Every structure is written in C-alpha cells, then in structure tokens.
Chains A and B, each alone.
Chain A
Amino acid sequence: MTIPPGANGGAGKAPESIEDRAAYYVVRLDAGADKSEQQRIWDWIEQSPEHAVAFARAKAVWDRAGDLESGGRDEDSTKA
C-alpha cells in the first residue's frame, strides 16, 4: 500500500533525505510519471505529515522557479 522508507518506489534510485525525495517526485511528475507511479507518489505523500510538508515545499519552490525569466542560462547567447 505504501512505500517503505528508503525503498525504491519504481521511480529510480531512492534519494537519501525526505527533501531530496520530495524534490525527485516533483520532477518525476513533471517528467510525466505514469498512473501507477503517480499513485506510488501519492501513497508516499500520505504516509506522513513530514512527507506532505516536504512535497508541498518542493512543489512551491518548483512553481516559483517557473517564473524565472529566460536569459539566465549559463550558455553564451546572442539571442536578443
């Protein structure tokens, strides 16, 4: 029903901390996780308030970063 802590949830290698895992799951959802992976991520979120808080924080930071303007890339570009 739920993913045991530290287990590989089928979403690649398990990151070490709750924050890292939450960040990874936000990225997996962005990358197009399939239904069963989405379900595993939700199970993880519901497993504990710590998970839910970390996920919410990761998603909030992800959304905020989406407002960054283009032009900040580290590659040289002459594009106006």
Chain B
Amino acid sequence: MSAKKSDTRAKLSWFTTVILPHERAMRLYLRSRVANAEDADDFASEALLRAYSTKDWARITSGRAFLFTIARNLTIDAARRNKIVAFDGKRDPDTFNSAIDVERHLHARDELRRLERIIAGFPRQCRRAFILRRVEQKSFAEVADEMGLSVTTVEKHVAKALGLLMRSEMLREEPCHDDSAGSEWRSRQGA
C-alpha cells in the first residue's frame, strides 16, 4: 500500500468517526441560520469539503465544534457579501439548543426509525433489494434469485437505494409528515 493510500485511509477514518456523526446536526443548524434550504445544503456540502480538506486534520478531535465553526463562518461570509439571507446572530453554535437536542435524540433508535420511514417510501424493487441485502443479510446472488433479476441489476437497485438515502439528508424538512409507512414496517415485527 502506498503512503498516500494509507494516509487517505487514515483521513477517511478520521472524517467518518470525528466529523460525519455531526453532519446532520450541522445541516439543521444551517437551516436555522439560512432562509433558503438549498443554500443551507450548499453550505453543508462546502463545510464537509473544507473539513475533509483541512491540512492538520489529525489534531482535530472535536468534530462538532470544528464543523459548526466552519458552517457558521460560511454563512457569515456569504451574508456579508449579500449572497444569502441569514437570520440574526443569536443562534450561534453554542446556543443552538435545538441542534443539541437533535443530537441527543438522534441516537440509534430514532435514527433507525428515520431510515425505515425513508426506505419505506422507495420504489418497490429498489426497497426490496436493499432490505434483502442490507437487513436480511442475503448475498447478492440470493437476492437476485429471489427477485428473479440479474446480480448486476440487484446491485444497481441497492446502489440506487443507498444514493436515495444519502440524499434524504438534504433539501428536506424533517421526515415527520407521514408515519404510516413506518408503522407498517413496525407492525410486521409482531411486537
């Protein structure tokens, strides 16, 4: 393995464990500061990119403070250039209590429910392939057999589902609108 490659691996690992757990809270924080949701998503993408591109990344251990500071500075700079409509400065990262609450409640169970709700809304084939592979832990060959599709097609369905899940973080209000799909999911568990 080249030195460059092992460095990339270490950096990706840092980014995944130190930065990404705060992505969602940062998006919510940005939405509280920026009037336009698309602007908020653009800032979020830029903030993640800047976090990843930081030279002395290995020294950064508080991902939340680091990421929120980048996000906040992006909105301040943009507001200064009149590029965006920003809300007043009362909601700085330290007093953004709702984000803190969000983080507190985003642990395992709620996060999984959120994922379930989103997946329930996927196109049928896409949803089924994803659940059979990722939840039921069947091999791609088994999923292909069960669905009567080629392995390649199953892979595409699963990848599409994953792409949709990634996008569900963006441009949306909290997915609390329709819980019927989620409860349908729950009811099958015979709880």
**What is A's interface to B at a CB cutoff of 8 Å?**
12, 15, 17, 19-20, 22-24, 26-28, 30-31, 42, 45-46, 49-50, 52-62, 64-75, 77, 80
Main secondary structure of the interface of A (DSSP, over half): helix
A69 touches B112 (CB 8 A): yes
Contacts of B115 in A (CB 8 A): 64-65, 68
CB distance from B53 to the nearest CB of A (A): 5
A45 touches B23 (CB 8 A): no
Select which of B20, B112, B133 is within 8 A of A57 by beta carbon. Answer: B20
Decide: A65 near B134, CB < 8 A? Known: A23-B159, A72-B116: yes
Count, A-B residue pairs, CB within 8 A: 126
A27 touches B159 (CB 8 A): yes
Select which of B12, B111, B124, B131 is within 8 A of A64 by beta carbon. Answer: B111
The 7 closest A-B pairs by CB, nearest first: A71-B189, A23-B162, A23-B163, A24-B159, A27-B159, A72-B185, A20-B163
Besides the known contacts A71-B188, A72-B189, 15 further A-B residue pairs in the complex with CB atoms under 8 A apart = A12-B152, A19-B167, A23-B162, A24-B155, A42-B8, A49-B53, A50-B49, A59-B16, A64-B111, A71-B185, A71-B190, A72-B119, A72-B188, A73-B128, A77-B188
Decide: A80 near B132, CB < 8 A? Known: A26-B162, A46-B4, A72-B116: no
CB distance from A67 to the nearest CB of B (A): 6
Residue count of chain B within 8 Å CB distance of chain A:
48
CB distance from B172 to the nearest CB of A (A): 15
Decide: A52 near B15, CB < 8 A? Known: A67-B112, A74-B131: yes
